[in-house]
Amino acid sequence: MPQLPIYLDHAATTPVRPEVLEALLPYFSAKFGNASSTHRWGREARAATDAARERIAACLGANADEICLTSGGTEADNLAVLGGWRVQQANGRPGIVSTPIEHKAVLESVHQAKREGGDERLVGIDAVGTVNLDSARQHIRGDVALVSVMWVNNETGVIQPVAELAAIAREAGAIFHTDAVQAFGKLDVDAKQIPFDFLSVSGHKFGAPKSIGAVFVRRGTPLAPLFFGGSQDRGRRPGTENTPMAVALATAMELALKERDAEVARLRALRDRLEGALVAAVPGLVVHGRDAPRVPHILHFSVPNADSESLLMALDLAGVAASSGSACQSGSVTPSHVLSAMGLPPELGASAVRLSVGKLSTEEQMDRVAQLFPGVVQSARAMGGRF
C-alpha cells in the first residue's frame, strides 16, 4: 500500500485548524449579520468583529484601533506600502526604500510607487541573506517617505534586522513597514518592543483560512486608503466587514501565540533533523541562509546539477509536497530573485527547493524524506537530459 503523501509546504499555506473552523462557522450561518447594521443581527456581528479586532491587537502588542483587516497579505502589503508612501510623497518625500528580496506583494507595490513618481531605492543584501545595514543607512535619508523590509524572507527563512531598520527609518522621519507574514507565530512580534509603524500578517500561514489578513497601523501614522466606500475600519479599508474571517484570524493568532514556544522548538528540531540528513545524503547540497538567523520552519537549499522544476516534480511523484520558494501562476518555476540578490550563481538559483515544516509534520516524515531524497536527486538530474 502506498504511503501517505507528506506536506512540506507550510510556508505556502497551512490547513485551517479545527478550532478556527469551529469558531468561524456560526458567523457563516445563524450569526450572519452585517456589523454596520443597527438591528440585533448587526449588533451581534459588531460585537464579534470588535472583539476579534481586540484579540488580534492583543496578539501584536497593539491597540484595537491600530488593526486594519484586509483580504490577506497582499492587500495588507499594498495598503501599507502605497497608502503610506502616497501620503508622505504629497508632503515632499518621494523616496521609497525596500529590498530586492521582498515578496512580490511589496516589491510590485514599490514599483507602482515608482511609476507614480517615487524615487525607488533597493538596499543591498549580504551573501548570507540579510539586509546590509550600511547600505540601508545610505539609502534612508530625509527625503524618504517609507521603508519596507520583510521580517522574515519567505524563501530562505532568514530573519531581517527589523529593530535596527525601524530605528534608522524613525530617525530619518520615514514610515517603517514590515511584512511579517512568515514571522508571526514563529518570532516575538510585539509593537511595544519594536518601533515598526506598519506590519502585515496573513491568516492562512498559521491555521486561518485564505483571504484574511491584517495591517497594524501605529497610532498617528498617516495612511491613504486603497479603496473608497463606507466608513468601515475608520475609512482605511471600506467594505462590509468580514466577521467570520475576523473571528478566524483572531482565533488562529491566539492559538499560534499560545503554542509558539513549544511549536518553535518542535519545528526547529524537525527542520534541523531533516537538514542534517539531507546535507549528509547529497554531496554539494547548499543550504541557504545557514549562516544567518533563520526561522525554525523553513529549509531552503540548492542541489547542484538539478533544476527546481525537476526536483519538485520528482518530489511530488515520490509523495512529497514542496516548493521552490517562488512559483508563477502557470505553475512553471522561475529562478529565485532572492537567491540572485544574495549573489548566488544563476545555476544554483535555478536549483532551489524550499521545504517548510508545520502542524502536519512529524519526525517519521523527516526520516522518510531524507531516505527518498537521493533518489529524487538522481531522477531530477536525469530529467536535465542533454544540457
Partner 1 sequence: MARVLVAMSGGVDSSVAAALLVRQGYDVVGVTMKLFEDGAELPDRPCCSLDATSDARRVAEQLGIPHYVLNMIDHFGRDVIADFVAEYTRGRTPIPCVRCNTFTKFSDLVAKADGIDAQYVATGHYARAVAGELHRGADDNKDQTYFLWGINRDVVKRLLLPVGEMTKTETRALARELQLPRVADKAESQEICFVPDGDYVQILRRELGDDAPALSPGRIVTTTGDVVGEHEGYARYTIGQRRGLPGGSADPMYVVALRPETREVVVGPREALLGTRLSASGVNWLVDTPPRVGDEVQVRIRHRAPLAPAVVEAITGGAVSVTLHAPVSAITPGQSAVLYDGTRVLGGGFID
Residue 330 contacts partner 1 per CB under 8 A: yes
* Residue 294 CB-density burial (10 A; 0-12 exposed, 13-18 middle, 19+ buried): buried
Among residues 16, 21, 281, 383, the one that binds partner 1 under rule CB under 8 A: 383
Under 8 Å between Cβ of 90 and 226: no
Under 8 Å between Cβ of 146 and 175: yes
Among residues 333, 339, 355, 372, the one that binds partner 1 under rule CB under 8 A: 333
What does the alpha-carbon distance between residue 105 and residue 111 come to, in Å, rounded to a whole number?
Answer: 10
User: Per DSSP, what are the bridge partners of residue 199?
Assistant: 178, 216
Among residues 235, 284, 345, 384, the one that binds partner 1 under rule CB under 8 A: 384
| Contact string (CB under 8 A) for partner 1, positions 363-382, x = contact | ----------------xxxx
Q: Mind spelling out the 3-state secondary structure of 3-19? A: CCCEECECCCCCCCCHH
Q: Phi and psi dihedrals of 131, rounded to 5? A: -65, 135
Nearer to partner 1, 18 or 385 (CB): 385
Nearer to partner 1, 229 or 346 (CB): 346
Catalytic residue IDs: 328
**How far is residue 369 CA from its own chain's centroid?**
25
Least separation in angstroms between residue 87's CB and partner 1 is 33
Least separation in angstroms between residue 48's CB and partner 1 is 36
Tell me the pairing of strands 175-179 and 198-202.
parallel
What does the alpha-carbon distance between residue 50 and residue 65 come to, in Å, rounded to a whole number?
Answer: 10
| Contact string (CB under 8 A) for partner 1, positions 276-315, x = contact | ---------------------------------xx-xxx-
Residue 331 contacts partner 1 per CB under 8 A: yes
CA distances from 208 to 25, 34, 234, 260 (A): 12, 21, 24, 16
Contacts of 96 (CB under 8 A, 6+ apart): 81, 85, 110, 113, 114, 118, 119, 120, 121, 144, 145, 146, 147, 148
Binding range to partner 1, per CB under 8 A, among 26-34, 145-153, 155-163, 332-340: 332-340
Among residues 258, 317, 345, 371, the one that binds partner 1 under rule CB under 8 A: 317
Residue 265 contacts partner 1 per CB under 8 A: no
Least separation in angstroms between residue 41's CB and partner 1 is 39
**How far is residue 149 CA from its own chain's centroid?**
11
Least separation in angstroms between residue 373's CB and partner 1 is 15
Q: In the chain, which ranges are continuous DSSP H helix? A: 18-24, 40-59, 73-90, 104-115, 133-139, 162-172, 243-281, 308-317, 337-341, 346-349, 363-383
Residue in this structure with the C-alpha cell 513597514, named with its chain if needed: 177
Nearer to partner 1, 93 or 381 (CB): 381
Least separation in angstroms between residue 379's CB and partner 1 is 5
Among residues 255, 316, 351, 364, the one that binds partner 1 under rule CB under 8 A: 316
User: What is the residue type of 123?
Assistant: V
Residue 192 contacts partner 1 per CB under 8 A: no
Under 8 Å between Cβ of 197 and 219: no
Least separation in angstroms between residue 105's CB and partner 1 is 20
Binding range to partner 1, per CB under 8 A, among 143-151, 203-211, 249-257, 323-331: 323-331
Residue 353 contacts partner 1 per CB under 8 A: no
Nearer to partner 1, 115 or 386 (CB): 386
Least separation in angstroms between residue 88's CB and partner 1 is 33
Nearer to partner 1, 171 or 316 (CB): 316
Nearer to partner 1, 343 or 375 (CB): 375
Among residues 29, 38, 231, 332, the one that binds partner 1 under rule CB under 8 A: 332
The size of the interface with partner 1 (CB under 8 A), counted in residues, is: 21
Residue 386 contacts partner 1 per CB under 8 A: yes
Work out the number of other CB atoms within 10 angstroms of the CB of residue 192: 8
Nearer to partner 1, 110 or 333 (CB): 333
Nearest alpha carbon to residue 8 among 270, 358, 278: 358
- Binding-site ranges for partner 1 (CB under 8 A): 309-310, 312-314, 316-317, 329-334, 379-386
